[in-house]
Every structure is written in structure tokens, then in C-alpha cells.
Structure 1
Amino acid sequence: MRSLPRRPGWLQWAGMASRTLPTLTNTHVRVAVQVALLVWFVHGLLTPPPGAAALACALAGLGATLLGVTLLDGRPRTGAGVLGAALAAACATGLLAPTTPWVVLVFAVCGFAAARLGALAAGLLLGAGAAAVAAVTLLRDRDPVELWNVVGLCGLFAYVRAGRSRRAAAESERQRALLAERAHVAREVHDILAHSLSAQLIHLESARLTLAAGRYEEAGVLVERARTLAKGGLEETRRAVAVLRGDVPAPAEALDALAEEYRRTTGAACALTVDAGPRPLPPDAALAVIRTAQEALTNARKHAAGADVEITLSWPGDRYALCVTDSGGTGPAPHAATGGGYGLVGMAERAELIGARLDAGPHGTGFRVLLEGPLAP
């Protein structure tokens, strides 16, 4: 027996409506308000119709308002002048026929000026509009209650300007966040490439010299190590992508891997000491510790060939401290000129972003990089 199809319930109707109805935006609301004001103005102007002079002034004011708003995009000064003429036509309409909704034009002009013009031009138009409303009310012996239109006009102007300021602040914050994200990605890319490629370059240069000396087996070993480093760089790139998505490795494990890689690629000693901390590092601080140690070891390979390195992660008080010290190079540094010099800049930027302090400079016969920061974010 066939069952009859079920009628959709109210939840299904709601889901269908959400898929078919367009999303209401600020543009839709603004257009709806403008159309409503236009209909209100035209209806009030024609029921009952005023005299010919008042009707001509009202239509001229409406046309000038529409023209001025159109000109604001490409020629704001001309548009502001046309809006000023629209105010004059609205004031003339109010003097000739004060019962018409001439004040709608004044509100429209001042609202568009507040939204699209600079502070000076918009303020001048607001002053002219408020003076026009007060003049018509007083000269035509209208009810003094109509003077509240001046207050409403100022309130509209303040509301529109505040919305414009909020949008500008939001756009500025969006741009700042975009630049910060770009700088973050740039630091990650630099740290990965500088660390991985510098080690590969050292092995390939050694392989070239070994081949020139005729030691082919030894050169093959160096090339194989360079290949291993390339694979490690690829893995590091994948880990960096995971870090950008919020997955930060444990500092102790990452530092141990960096120390082991330094020993393997340089043949020099790399002592690592990691004290037991009171609690785990915040993700940003953990990433800064890892990247700072990575960059310090990269600089040691490039500028202090054959140097022994000591890495220490300690917890003085309610702070953490990473110290990477090398003993100074024991031979020439053929790769000291490679790189763009962004390593120390990137380390300093990382420290500043998390409220830490970076101290990098000569220490004894070698070089020291010290990163200190609070445990609390």
C-alpha cells in the first residue's frame, strides 16, 4: 500500500524560506528608506497640490538632491554645491507652502552629506539645513514644536557620522588584521626556508668541494644528507601549515629535534637543557620559543661555522626564558652573506607580539639570543 507524501512541517517551510529569500543587508534597508521618503514627499506635495511656484521649487529641490547624490561619487565638491542648491530650493518651498513636507528634503540632504562628504562640507550643510528649518518655522509663524526638527536633524547627522566612523574603524581593523596575518605567514616562511635551505646549502657546498678533491664516496654521503634535509624541510613546511591552523608542537620535543639536527648537520655539539615548567606555555609563546631557537641555530650555522651551541629553556619566577648561546666560529663562514637579514627582525616581531623581550648580541667569543616573556598571555 502506497503511503501519501508527507506535507512539510513548519521547520521545513522555515528552511525552504531561508534558502529562497535573499539576505537583508544595509543596502536594502537604505534603499527602502530612500524610496519611502520619496513616496512620502511626493504624496505630501500633491495632496493637496500647492501653488505653481511652490511646486516648481519643490520639484527643483528634489531633482537637485538626486543629482547631488549622484555627483558625490565622482565629483564631491560639485555634488556638495548641488546639495546646497537643493537646500535653498527646500527652504523656498517651505516659505511659499509651509504645510508641504519640504523638511523631508532637508533631512535627505543632511543625511547624504553626513554619509558621503567630509566633516567640513557636511557640517556646513547641516548648519544651513538647521538654519533653514528655524527660519521657516519663525518667519511663517509655525508651531514652535516644529523647531524640534532641528534637534532631529542634528540627531540624524550624528547617527550617520557615527555609523561612518564605525565602518571606517572596522575597515581599519580588518586591514590591520590582514597585515598582521601576512607578517605572520612571512615569518613562518622565512623561518622554514632559512633553516632548511641553509643546512642544505652547507652540505651541497661541502659536496662540491669534496667532488673537486676526488672523494666521490664522501661527496655521495653529503648529497644524501642534503636530500634528507630537503625531506625534513618538506615535513617542516607541513608542520608550519599545521601551526598556522593553530596546532603548535610541544617546545621540549621541538627543541630536541632542532638540537639533534644541528649536531647531525654541523658535527658540532649542541647541549639542550629544558627545566620542568610550572604549566604549559601559551600557544603563541610556545611557537615563539621554537621559531627563535630555530632561527638562532640557523644563524649559528651561517655565521659561526663549527661553533658549539647551548640551548636552555628555564622558568625564572612567573616567566619563561629561552637562551641560545654559541661558542663562536672555528673557521670561515662561507654562507654568512646568504639570506636577507630578516631573521633578527622576525624574532623581534614575534617577541613584541606576545609581550616578550628579545636580546640578541655578542656574548663572550660567540653570540647569544635571549627570549624572555610572561607565562600569562
Structure 2
Amino acid sequence: MNLTDRRVLPLALNAIGIVAVAVASFASTSVPRSGWFAVATVLALLTWAIVVPLQRVFVQSQRRSAVLRWVRRAATVVGVVAASLSVAPSNGIHLAPLAILVILAVSDDTESIWWGAALSALSFVLTPIGALSAGLGTAGVLGYLASNAVWLLIGVSRRQARAATRRNRELAEQQAATHEQEARASALAAREAVARDIHDVLAHSLGGLVIQLDAAEALLESGRTSDAQAKVAQARALAAEGLADARRAVAALRSPDDPDSSEQSPVDLAGAAERLLRAHRELGGEADARVDLAAAAAPLQASVANAFERALQEALSNARRHAPGEPVSVELTAGADRIDLAVSNRVVAGRTPSDLGGGHGLVGMAERFAQLPGGTVSATERDGRFVVSATASLAAG
């Protein structure tokens, strides 16, 4: 058994103290040899030996026994009474068991503070009685009472220290739980962001591939091989572009601090808009576009530029899917403190706004813009046209 163990060392030290007090009490020639003193000594030492291990077991127990509590209380009362009455006749030898019992009772935060205070008060009452029976003068009585006050103060100090330790432990546990919740929320937000990007990439790339391959098939059937090859080449370029976008979205989830992730890399929004419009036209769509970002007071933040790129991509994909062949009007403009996007197309008979890809693209768009300062998104039918609008402020942050 390792005596330096935190669980063993206190018990070993208390055992040494009990033996030392017993030897001093019965071997000293200056203490009385009366029967009552011997009984008091035995009771003080016995309760000391009982209360210390019971206290440790009770405090560390997950389920505290009521019987154990009352045994400990009874032993403590008996020990305090015996030690208080015999402390003066023992010439202060019994201060040790009295101090241990009072300090343990007062510092025990599993009991009411009034329990420890009552035992301390009992020692203040009984110590003078024992001192007077031993013929001790006023100065000696006051000295022992001062010792009792010290034990009380030590017990209160230990109680406060334990309470502070418990509060710190609870605070650390709460902070750990909060950090865990924040980590989970961050991971969930990252997954949602990737899900939005993957949805937009697939809606744009796969939808475009279907259109290109259908056109290539039709051209092959009509014998226009060179035109079909051109369509296949465009389809291949669109597939490569979509694959690259998907890889960037996955990389953003796997390595959120990667400088190549979409949230970290700067985005040329004007260039991205022209690329999307060119792809839309190559897929057979018509677009009347106005892109003017020159009035922005500062370079666009990556999160803002990405949000508007994805919004334009989703709006154009929806237009191709739900209003094929209809001209699309696009306005992407920036002022000194805000940026706006409006994409509209004529509503095709039999189509309703709720048809738009099950609503997932618009939901993802709204989630993305909700994270931007002043970000809003709307998708409504106005005067026979379906209009997707998005706006965000360009406040520095």
C-alpha cells in the first residue's frame, strides 16, 4: 500500500495522531489517574478513530446511508463531549481530538452549517466546565476557549474552500458541456453549409449535363456530328466544373481552416456571374443581364460573394428547369453599403413556385443569407413573373 496515496495518507496521519495522544494521555505523570478521565480519553480517541473514516466514506459515497449519517453524528457528539470535558485535565493533550472533531463537523458541507456550529458551541460550554473541575484559572480557561474559536474558524474556512472547489468544478463541467454543444453546433452548421453547396452544385451541373447530352443526342440523330461533339465537349467542361465545386465543398467540411475552402478563398463575383451566365446560354437559355459591382465601397467578403454566386446559380438552374426556353432577366448590382440580386422569368402555365426543386434550393439560399449582415431572400410571383431577390449589407466585419 502506497502511503503517499491521497486516500491513505490522511488515515495514516490520523492513526499516528491517535496513538500519540493515547500514549501521552496514559503515560504522562501530569494527567489525572481517575476513572472518568480514562473513560473520556478512550471515548475521545475511539470517536476520533470512527468519525474520520466514516466522514470520508460518507462524503465520497454516491448514495449516502441515513444510518451511516446518524452513527457519524452520534460518534461526533460523544467525542466532542468527552474531549471538551477532558481537554483541561489532560493539560491540552486532548485538544487534538477536539480540534479534529470540531473541524470535521463545521467543514462538512453535506450537513447544515448549524450542525457544526452547534457542536462548536457545545465545546465552548463544556470546556470551561472541565477546566473548572481541574482547578484551572481564568487565563487558562480563556486560552482553551480561544483554541475552540480557532477550530471553528478553520472549519468555516475549509467549508468555504470546499464550496469554492465544488463551484469551480461545476463551472468547469458547464463550460465543457457548453464547448461540446458549440462544437456540435459548429459541426452541424458546417454539414448544413456543405449540403447547401452540394445541392446547388448538383442542381446546376447535373441539370446542365442532362440538357447538353439531350442536345448532343438530338444532333447525332440528325447527323450533325460536329455540333454534337461541341455539345459533348461543353458537357464535359460542365461536369469538370461541377466536380471541382463539389470537391471544394467537401474540402470545406473536412478542413474548415484550409485556405482553399470556399469560405476562405476570395471570390470574383463579377467573374463568377459571367461564368454562370455563359453556362446558362450554352445550355440553351436566354439571359438579359446587368452586372455592376463597381460602386461597392470595399472588396466583397468571401461569405457575401459566395452567397450571391450560389443564389444566382440556383436561380438560373430553377429557370432552366421550370421555364425552359424563357428569357431570364438578371440584375446584380452593388451600392456603397449593400448588394442586390434579382433574377426573374415568365411563369410557365402549369408551373407554380412550389415546384422549385422541392424548395430545397430556396431553403438553402435563405439559410445562407440569414448568416449575412442584413441578408434577406424572397421568391415570389409578381405580374406573371417568378422573381428571386436577394440582398445583403456590405458592412465591414
Q: Is the TM-score greater than 0.5? A: yes
Quick one: which amino acid aligns to residue 100 of structure 2? T
Quick one: which amino acid aligns to residue 122 of structure 2? L
Alpha-carbon distance change, 289 to 147 in structure 1, aligned in 2, over 3 angstroms: same
Alignment TM-score, normalising by the size of structure 1: 0.70
1:272 to 275, 284, 290: 290
**What residue ranges of structure 2 are gaps of 5+ in the alignment?**
20-43, 80-96, 125-147, 252-259
**How far apart are residue 210 of structure 1 and its match?**
6.4
Alignment of 1:285 with 2:304, yes or no, is: yes
Deviations 1:34-76 (A, max 9, x none): 954752354235423463343234323434555x2xxxxxxxx
**Using the alignment, how far apart are the partners of 1:85 and 1:214 within structure 2?**
97
Partner of 2:169: 160
Secondary structure of 2:299's aligned partner: coil
Alpha-carbon distance change, 139 to 105 in structure 1, aligned in 2, over 3 angstroms: closer
RMSD, aligned CA: 3.4
Partner of 1:6: none
**Using the alignment, how far apart are the partners of 2:207 and 2:311 within structure 1?**
16
Quick one: which amino acid aligns to residue 52 of structure 2? A
Deviations 1:327-365 (A, max 9, x none): 444x998xx979553101110001111131112212333
Residue pair 1:90, 1:103 contacting (<8 A) in 2 also: no
Alpha-carbon distance change, 168 to 268 in structure 1, aligned in 2, over 3 angstroms: same
Partner of 2:389: 370
Quick one: which amino acid aligns to residue 134 of structure 1? A
**How far apart are residue 280 of structure 1 and its match?**
0.9
Residue pair 1:259, 1:270 contacting (<8 A) in 2 also: no
**How far apart are residue 306 of structure 1 and its match?**
1.2
Quick one: which amino acid aligns to residue 310 of structure 2? R
1:246 to 252, 264, 267: 264
Alpha-carbon distance change, 269 to 311 in structure 1, aligned in 2, over 3 angstroms: closer
Residue pair 1:288, 1:351 contacting (<8 A) in 2 also: yes
1:55 to 37, 49, 54: 49
**Using the alignment, how far apart are the partners of 2:275 and 2:51 within structure 1?**
82
2:13 to 29, 35, 43: 43
**Using the alignment, how far apart are the partners of 2:67 and 2:266 within structure 1?**
63
Alpha-carbon distance change, 93 to 231 in structure 1, aligned in 2, over 3 angstroms: same
**How far apart are residue 293 of structure 1 and its match?**
0.9
Alignment of 1:229 with 2:247, yes or no, is: no
Alpha-carbon distance change, 151 to 231 in structure 1, aligned in 2, over 3 angstroms: closer
**What residue ranges of structure 1 are gaps of 5+ in the alignment?**
1-33, 69-78, 111-124
Alpha-carbon distance change, 338 to 285 in structure 1, aligned in 2, over 3 angstroms: closer
Percent of aligned positions with the same letter in both sequences?
26
**Using the alignment, how far apart are the partners of 2:101 and 2:194 within structure 1?**
58
Partner of 1:134: 117
Secondary structure of 1:326's aligned partner: strand
**Using the alignment, how far apart are the partners of 1:293 and 1:85 within structure 2?**
74
Alpha-carbon distance change, 281 to 235 in structure 1, aligned in 2, over 3 angstroms: same
**Using the alignment, how far apart are the partners of 2:267 and 2:12 within structure 1?**
68
Partner of 2:370: 352
Partner of 1:74: none
**Using the alignment, how far apart are the partners of 1:215 and 1:98 within structure 2?**
110
Residue pair 2:346, 2:386 contacting (<8 A) in 1 also: yes
**Using the alignment, how far apart are the partners of 1:339 and 1:150 within structure 2?**
65
Mapping of residues 26-105 of structure 1, within 5 Å: 35-36=5-6, 39-49=9-19, 51-66=45-60, 68=61, 79-81=62-64, 91=73, 94-95=76-77, 96=79, 97-100=97-100
**Most deviating of 245-254 and 139-148:** 139-148
1:298 to 296, 301, 317: 317
Quick one: which amino acid aligns to residue 280 of structure 1? P
**Using the alignment, how far apart are the partners of 1:238 and 1:272 within structure 2?**
30
Secondary structure of 1:100's aligned partner: helix
Quick one: which amino acid aligns to residue 289 of structure 1? F
Alpha-carbon distance change, 205 to 55 in structure 1, aligned in 2, over 3 angstroms: farther
1:197 to 206, 211, 219: 206
Alpha-carbon distance change, 151 to 269 in structure 1, aligned in 2, over 3 angstroms: closer
**How far apart are residue 201 of structure 1 and its match?**
2.1
Alignment of 1:321 with 2:291, yes or no, is: no
Residue pair 1:309, 1:326 contacting (<8 A) in 2 also: yes
**Using the alignment, how far apart are the partners of 2:358 and 2:247 within structure 1?**
23
Alignment of 1:261 with 2:275, yes or no, is: no
Matched positions, count: 311
Secondary structure of 2:359's aligned partner: coil
